[in-house]
Amino acid sequence: MRQVPVLIVGGGITGLSCALFLAAHQVPCLLVERHPDLLSHPRARGITPRTMELYRQVGLEESILAAAFAGSDFAWVPVRAETLSDEVYETPDEPSESDGAEASPCSFGPIDQDRLEDLVRSHARRLGAELRFSTELTDFTQDDSGVTAVLTDRATGASEQVRASYLVAADGFHSPIRHRLGVPADGPGRLFDTITAIVDADLRPALRGRRATIAYLQRPRPYTIMMAHDAEGTRWVFGTGHDPSREPIESFTDERVAAMVREAAGLPDVEVRLRPQIPGTDMKVLAFPIGAHVARNYRVGRVFFIGDAAHVWPPTGGLGANAGIQDAHNLAWKLALVTAGAAGPGLLDSYEAERRPTGLMTMGQALARFGTRMGPGSAPEIVEYGAVALGYRYRSAAVLGGDEDGDTTPLLPRELRGQVGTRAPHVPVERGGRRISTLDLYGSRFVLLTGPDGDAWAKAAKDLPLPVDVYRLGVDLASDTAAEAHDLAPGEAILVRPDGFVAWRSTDPGALAGALAAILCR
């Protein structure tokens, strides 16, 4: 029987990103996806600065920007109307928001999910991840030492058994793995069902020079959207609600969808052409549910849930794919240390402790934005987008000395100053004559940041069982502001995890070894 440290089930952006991050940590992994290839539908149309930071860690930032459909100055323009031809567009009642780019070395990444998946897949393979399409998980069992999985080749019908130390379920909204393990979910549940298509249609006469990157419309029925797929206004993503019990997907023929697009646009004579969405097929219309729930557990034994298998919410705000990628990043470095024997298995408990509260907070914010864009009224509970996307806080055994009350209210990006449980600040510094961000120090190992008086910390770090990089701000890293930006008092240091989150801060170098051992559950 073949052995592999980590088996990933699901080849969407979350599963692919998990394979990429594991491969970057040199963890052998096998990903299986039942479909023959990636989906051509764009779905998510951009990634936040925080998610860009994660891809920057593994050397993918430049490729993403090169493949982007717009420059870094791209901005979403959401509108509400009856049809796209209305004389007046309403603006959703939301506060003016930043995405946190001012506190990051990265800008928003305007890239379609299908293009991003292609880049991530290629890079993961370059780093050594094994990705197998047309391969389905048809059975699995787990015990105290691992998971035994049955994988079936959908082209030939041949099956094989694989033994994995851990299984990562990235198998989507319906997550057969989660349901088989009996894990319930909290939240409103299924809200409605939608069909979606990519269409070529010149809707510029409806726009009349106005910008509307995403329009929330009432025609031909509620829950209709038209999302611009190019800058010219000639290619669009069309979506609308439907009742699958009365309208099977087969009833949405090219002619019917084209008529619906004309009604949504308010242009009865415009030519509309649908585009295939799965390579090698003529499938042009997809159906999927829109819902909101968060799994009660993110882990059962040696099985972990990430992305839509763990949480779903409406796409308003574009928070779903970003949260899934961040799930994968959080889990990958922990699996890397545990499978290498550098950390105890208890470290893996911190995945759920950190990501589930973040999922619940993010679901609430996605629902709040859904209310302002798809329904009447305002939503005073909306938290600024940059705080949701970048300022979330962790409370777990893998962060020591956080707020005693366990407060996880997200912080504004400008408020990130090295607090325990938060993403470490971005500060431009000079190292070896080259300008970098302090965030470029993170990704593979723990990092200790001190002020110029940090010689005792450097000495303490030499005796640790796990390599820790030590940088003295103002000495090893040239900067007049970095120590202040991290709120470092004289003699103080902060310990930053491989994911860039602050794990601990102290003025006692003698406590370093014990703190690291506690974080690693050793």
Residues with a catalytic annotation lie at: 216
Query: Got the DSSP string for 303-329?
Result: EEE-GGGTEE--STTS-HHHHHHHHHH
In DSSP terms, 387 is beta-bridged to none
Which residues are CB-contacts of 102 (< 8 A; sequence separation ≥ 6)? Answer: 413, 414
The number of C-alpha atoms within 13 Å of 503 and in the hemisphere containing its C-beta is: 25
Which residue in 257, 372, 378, 366 sits closest to 314, CA to CA? 366
Which residues are CB-contacts of 170 (< 8 A; sequence separation ≥ 6)? Answer: 8, 9, 10, 11, 12, 14, 15, 18, 306, 307, 308, 309, 324, 328
* CB 382, CB 95: distance < 8 Å: yes
Buried b / exposed e across 124-137, counting CB within 10 Å, b at 16+? bbebebebebebeb
Q: Whose structure tokens read 């090169």?
A: 66
SS3 call for 491: coil
**Dihedral pair phi/psi, residue 503, rounded to 5°:** -95, -25
SS3 call for 288: strand
